[in-house]
Structure 1
Amino acid sequence: MTIEIDNCHFELHTSGAVFWKNENMLLISDVHLGKISHFRKFGSAVPQKAIAKNFSELSKLVEHFRPAKIAFLGDLFHSSLNSEWNLFEEWVNSVSSEIILIAGNHDIISPLKYEQLNIQIKPMLRIGNFRLTHHPEVTTEDFNICGHIHPGFKLNGKGRQQLKLRCFYKSPQQLILPAFGEFTGNHYLKPEEDDQIFAITKNEVILVN
């Protein structure tokens, strides 16, 4: 689904990423690379193939949109270095896009490691009337695009059935991206009157309120 904000066009993708058409920029939040390896290290029964899925999905996005820039809106890695960093290095070397990391609260890996891969690290990024951050920051001056919350939405049916879906959460001055990574969990939100929920299904993004 494509939405328009302040004369700019944003494609909401079923992966949880957003393609900013005007800037030829791919926006991705909360990948939490390394989290699966961290869980496995401490005995959680998480399949090894789940690690490869994050990188496979990232590669599919880049191949599809061919962005000039990729901006990760924080929490690219879950914690300290582990074996997934080597996979990340391989992935970075496979793409030609400029990569920017807007640092999140989980991004504790030394900036020197990112600099060696020519990845810029910033506390925030302002482009025109848009302010890209990790944590939500609502102001009257800019439109905020962010992550951190891992937004989700519960769709209730007539027979007590319930679907729990990731979503893009849009309010008048903000767009919150869902978590991109596997096994990241959701925070289920209740929209206010002027908010919009774009729920992510297997095959499409749907406006549900």
Structure 2
Amino acid sequence: MKISIREEEFILDKERAIYLPSEQLLAISDLHLGKAAHFRKAGLAVPNSVSQNDLSRLAGLMEKYFPKQLLINGDMFHSDYNAEIDEFARWKENFREINFILVKGNHDKQSEKVYKNLAIEVQEPNYQTDKFCFIHDLTHCNSNLYTISGHIHPGISIYNNAKQRLKFPCFYFGEHHAILPAFSNFTGLQLVKAKENDLVFAITPTKIVKV
């Protein structure tokens, strides 16, 4: 789905990503790599396929849009260094021509050496284009810039034809800021409350639906 924000085209993808053609920038938030391994270490039976599926989806987006830059808007890694980060390093070798940018989130606590070895450009506290400010936790970046955050894993509640209440991740666009959905499938949802002129797009298993 294509929308316009501040006279710039945004492509909303059902794989929980946005693409800015003018910047050749693919942006996601809350990848949370290493979360499954972190839970397994704590004794919970979470399959390794969780991170593999997320990386497979991300690879599909790279091949779909051919971006020059991939921006991860916070919480790229969930916990301390573990095997899933090594898995990511091997996966990243397939995309050497793409610049990886990380806006640090509250879970991004790896050492500078780790990010350097992975060839990830770290931006803190935000990453700015001419019109947009990407930051993990919603904070006022600049009065002239439209802020795009993540962090809360936004969701929306919808009733279907059978009057059943269903919850879906969503994209939220307010007058001055937007919130990206969590990219990882292994996350919860926090329902957002939209104002009258806000735009909310639910991400169903098959398509994006304007609410």
Q: TM-score, normalised by structure 1?
A: 0.95
| Matching of residues 83-94 of structure 1 within 5 Å | 83-94=83-94
1:34 aligns with 2:37: no
Aligned to 1:52, the other structure's residue is in SS state: helix
CA shift for structure 1 position 97: 0.5
Whether 2:66 is the aligned partner of 1:63: answer: no
Correspondence for 2:186 among 178, 183, 204? 183
Deviation sequence 1:134-186 (CA, Å, 0-9, x none) = 11124542100111110000102465411110000110111110000121111
Q: Output the amino acid matched with 1:72.
A: I
Q: Please state if 1:130 is matched with 2:132.
A: yes
Q: 1 CA distance for matches of 2:14 and 2:105?
A: 23
Displacement of 1:112 after TM fit? 1.4
Q: Secondary structure at the match of 1:74?
A: coil
Aligned counterpart, 1:197 = 200
Runs of 4+ in structure 1 displaced over 3 angstroms? 157-160
- The 5-angstrom pairing of residues 76-115 of structure 1 reads 76-95=76-95, 96-115=97-116
Q: Tell me how far apart the structure 2 counterparts of residues 32 and 199 of structure 1 sit (CA, whole Å).
A: 21
Which amino acid letter does the alignment assign opposite residue 113 of structure 2? L
C-alpha displacement of 1:45: 2.6
Kindly indicate whether residue 148 of structure 2 is the aligned counterpart of residue 145 of structure 1: yes
Residue 43 (structure 1) aligned with residue 27 (structure 2): no
* CA contact 1:36–1:46 (8 Å) conserved in 2: yes
What is the aligned length? 208
Whole-Å separation in 1 of the counterparts to 2:50 and 2:195: 35
Question: Which residue does the alignment assign to 1:167?
Answer: 170
Root mean square deviation of aligned Cα: 1.3
Query: What is the letter of the counterpart of residue 166 of structure 1?
Result: P
CA distance in 2, matches of 1:71, 1:51: 18
Partner amino acid, structure 2, of 1:60: G
Counterpart CA distance in 2 for 1:121 and 1:177 is 19
Superposition TM-score, scaled by structure 2 size: 0.94
Paired with 1:140 and 1:117, the residues of 2 have a C-alpha distance of 34
Aligned to 1:155: 158
Partner of 2:137, secondary structure, is: coil
Aligned to 2:76, the other structure's residue is in SS state coil
Find 1:206's aligned residue among 201, 205, 209: 209
Structure 2 portions without partners, runs of 5+:
none
